[in-house]
Chain A
Amino acid sequence: MAEDVIKTDAVIVGAGPVGLFAVFELGLVDIKAHVVDILDRPGGQCAELYPEKPIYDIPGLTVVTGQELTDRLMDQIKPFGAEFHFSQRVESLERLDGGFRLTTDTGTVLECKVVVIAAGGGSFTPKRPPLPGIEQYEGTSVFYSVRKMENFKGRDVLIVGGGDSALDWTLNLAPVAKSLTLLHRRGEFRAAPASVQKMFDLVEKGDISFKLGQVTELHGEGGKLRSVTVKGADGATFEQPTEVMLPFFGLTMKLGPVADWGINLHENLIPVDTAKFETSEKGIFAIGDINTYPGKLKLILSGFHEAALMAQQAYHYVYPDKKLVFQYTTSSTSLQKKLGVK
């Protein structure tokens, strides 16, 4: 196992704009970073929630969209060669002598000297429909993603939603399931038209069913779903035999495992000092929307400032015997070398 452990200076949790800029600020002081994010691409909320939405308060950029800002930051941090671990969430944090060991839900193990939590509003997790008792079925009969197709083999599957995830899994699971029903609240779909067409082709062939409506109740026992009550488009309800349900209602942000890392929290935010942006735990920093301090404003630009100050303190943990001399990118030859412009 030991050879699978990735050793690095810093691990940044979250690849939103602030996490990305932290790569830059750490890089300037020779701190190598790995970045972990639950999404499959950089940008965090900028990429997931408002890629097309203009942002007007980034200094020097009159207007920039969430995606453009992400692209520009990725370009800006390129010289520092940070490694990214996408589609994974840091599950656990252990303290080591002089550092930390982080393990992700996909089994990546990272050892580092400092941890920078730049997790924004938390990690994006699938929305759980507020159906009474749904918790008891999760992981046995209710799934928010498909890890193993096996789980659906020979079962009565109900997929709920009209987006790409719902349609893609309808198409993928159709040959595997005993029966498959797609349930959606309306006849229009936000999913790719080609997938919608393929779905209707399968309905035509009698391979799957498509029904209009919304789930209102779950029925079953001992974690095993038997059926669900559906309110149809006409307002009348009907029972839908269901062994496995896959609801696809998009993502929401949840603090997640960070809450279990032994860091002091205040109303789901991480209190930090405003000189170093360090948490209650030495060597663990929190920057961007996830932290709190007197006067905190949840602005991207505040997170950038926090990243710069964090890097100064992080240096002392990574290079305890060295003295950090503050330098400007405009005039320092050594900084310009790191940036690849000299």
Chain B
Amino acid sequence: MARITFIQNDGTERVVEAEPGMTVMEAAVKNNIPGIAAECGGACACATCHVYVDDAWREATGSPAQMEEDMLDFAFDVRSSSRLSCQIKVTDALDGLVVRIPEKQF
């Protein structure tokens, strides 16, 4: 089990528990975290589950694969910490992960 903190643009925080194997996007949707639209349902095809990974967790979450990097072109206000949360697999090593949700997905 991994605990993930989602921080909204206004500073509101929510901590949810996620099973290893699911994605960070799935953890958000399952717990009704606002701001994660995930229109395509996790196919890396819409860029509406964009998050900023907290600096302390950048290494543990790794960097985006080619397909994800391409899809990030369709996100708004992309930063070096940008990831699509449907492409981050939850593992026990990510217990404590902190991600921030952009002001708007689009």
Chain B interface residue count, Cβ-Cβ cutoff 8 angstroms = 20
> Is there contact, CB below 8 Å, between B78 and A185?
yes
Q: Which B-chain residue is minimally distant from A52 (CB atoms)?
A: B43
B39 contacts the other chain (CB 8 A)? yes
Return chain B residues, CB-CB under 8 Å to A250. Answer: 46-47, 74
- With A127-B106, A129-B76, A190-B73 given, is the CB distance from A252 to B40 under 8 Å? no
Return chain A residues, CB-CB under 8 Å to B92. Answer: none
A198 contacts the other chain (CB 8 A)? no
Return chain B residues, CB-CB under 8 Å to A186. Answer: 69, 73
Return chain A residues, CB-CB under 8 Å to B103. Answer: 130
A43 contacts the other chain (CB 8 A)? no
In-complex Cβ contact of B46 among A185, A214, A216, A252 (8 A): A252
> Is there contact, CB below 8 Å, between A214 and B77?
yes
> Is there contact, CB below 8 Å, between B74 and A249?
yes
Return chain A residues, CB-CB under 8 Å to B47. Answer: 249-250
B45 contacts the other chain (CB 8 A)? yes
> Is there contact, CB below 8 Å, between A49 and B73?
no
Interface string of B9-42 (1 = CB under 8 A from A): 0000000000000000000000000000001110
> Is there contact, CB below 8 Å, between A127 and B43?
no
A256 contacts the other chain (CB 8 A)? no
CA distance A129 to B47 in the complex (A): 13
- With A50-B45, A185-B78 given, is the CB distance from A129 to B106 under 8 Å? yes
B interface SS class: loop
Q: Which A-chain residue is minimally distant from B48 (CB atoms)?
A: A252
Return chain B residues, CB-CB under 8 Å to A249. Answer: 47, 73-76, 106
CA distance A130 to B77 in the complex (A): 9
Q: Which B-chain residue is minimally distant from A166 (CB atoms)?
A: B73
Chain A nearest CB: distance from B66 CB in Å?
Answer: 9
Return chain A residues, CB-CB under 8 Å to B74. Answer: 127, 163, 249-250
B55 contacts the other chain (CB 8 A)? no
Chain A nearest CB: distance from B75 CB in Å?
Answer: 8
Which residues of B70-106 have CB atoms within 8 Å of chain A's CB atoms?
70, 72-78, 103-104, 106
Chain B nearest CB: distance from A57 CB in Å?
Answer: 13
> Is there contact, CB below 8 Å, between B43 and A49?
yes
Return chain B residues, CB-CB under 8 Å to A49. Answer: 39-41, 43, 45-46
Chain A nearest CB: distance from B14 CB in Å?
Answer: 22
Return chain B residues, CB-CB under 8 Å to A185. Answer: 72-73, 78
Given contacts A130-B103, A163-B74, A252-B46, 20 further A-B contacts (CB under 8 A): A48-B45, A49-B39, A49-B41, A49-B45, A121-B39, A129-B76, A130-B104, A163-B73, A184-B73, A185-B72, A185-B73, A186-B69, A190-B70, A214-B77, A214-B78, A249-B47, A249-B74, A249-B75, A249-B76, A249-B106
Name the 7 nearest CB pairs between A and B, nearest first: A130-B104, A250-B74, A190-B70, A50-B43, A49-B40, A49-B45, A127-B106
Taking Cβ atoms with an 8 Å cutoff, the residues of B that contact A are 39-41, 43, 45-48, 69-70, 72-78, 103-104, 106
Taking Cβ atoms with an 8 Å cutoff, the residues of A that contact B are 45, 48-50, 53, 121, 127-130, 161-163, 184-186, 188, 190, 214, 216, 249-250, 252-253
- 22 examples of A-B residue contacts, CB within 8 angstroms: A49-B43, A49-B45, A49-B46, A50-B41, A50-B43, A50-B45, A121-B39, A127-B106, A162-B73, A163-B74, A185-B78, A188-B69, A190-B70, A214-B76, A214-B77, A214-B78, A216-B77, A249-B74, A249-B76, A250-B74, A252-B46, A252-B48
